[in-house]
C-alpha cells in the first residue's frame, strides 16, 4: 500500500475510534477513555511500523513522471493532501474533546509526510555529496 493509502487507512481508523469513544462515553466514561487510548496506541504503533519499513518509491515516482509532473511537484502535492487529511482528522477529534486521538492523528500525518519525502531527501543529499 502506498503512503497516501496508509494515511487514508489511518484516517479511517481515527474516525472509527472517535465514533467508538463518543458512543461509549454515553454509557461508561472509563471504557471510553480506554477505547481512546487503545485507538491512539494502535495508530502510533502503525506509524512506528511504517517508519521502520524500507520502502521503494521508484514505481510511484515513475508513474507520476509519466503523467508529466516533476518528481518534486508530485511529492509536494501528495504531502499537501496528507497534511489536509491529517489536519481534518485532528481538528475533528479536538472539536469533540478527544485530544489523545487528535495527537495521534497529527503524529500519523507527520509520519506520512516524512515517509513520502525520504526518497527526495536522499536524492538531494546524494547530489550534495557529488558536488563535494
d(CA 117, CA 124): 11
Q: How far is Cα 34 from Cα 101, in angstroms, rounded to an integer?
A: 12
pLDDT the model gives residue 117: 82
Our measurement of the distance from residue 64's CA atom to the centroid of its chain's CA atoms, rounded to an integer in Å, reads 20
Residue 29 CA, chain-centre distance (Å), reads 28
Do 101 and 93 contact (CB within 8 A), yes or no? yes
CA–CA distance, 17 with 26 (Å, rounded to integer): 15
* Cell numbers that stand for 7 in this block: 494515511
pTM: 0.54
From first to last of the 132 residues of the chain, give the pLDDT tens digit. 676 677 778 788 888 888 888 888 888 888 887 888 888 778 777 776 766 664 544 455 555 555 555 667 777 777 887 888 888 888 878 877 878 888 888 888 888 888 888 887 787 788 888 887
Amino acid at each position: 500500500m502506498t503512503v497516501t493509502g496508509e494515511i487514508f487507512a489511518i484516517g479511517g481508523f481515527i474516525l472509527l475510534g472517535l465514533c467508538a469513544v463518543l458512543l461509549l462515553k454515553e454509557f461508561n466514561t472509563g471504557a471510553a477513555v480506554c477505547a481512546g487510548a487503545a485507538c491512539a496506541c494502535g495508530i502510533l504503533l502503525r506509524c512506528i511500523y511504517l517508519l521502520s519499513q524500507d520502502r521503494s518509491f521508484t514505481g510511484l515516482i515513475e508513474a507520476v513522471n509519466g503523467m508529466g509532473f516533476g518528481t518534486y511537484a508530485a511529492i509536494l502535492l501528495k504531502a499537501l493532501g496528507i497534511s489536509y487529511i491529517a489536519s481534518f482528522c485532528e481538528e475533528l477529534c479536538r472539536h469533540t474533546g478527544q485530544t489523545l486521538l487528535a495527537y495521534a492523528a497529527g503524529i500519523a500525518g507527520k509520519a506520512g509526510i516524512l515517509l513520502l519525502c525520504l526518497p527526495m531527501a536522499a536524492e538531494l543529499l546524494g547530489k550534495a555529496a557529488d558536488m563535494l
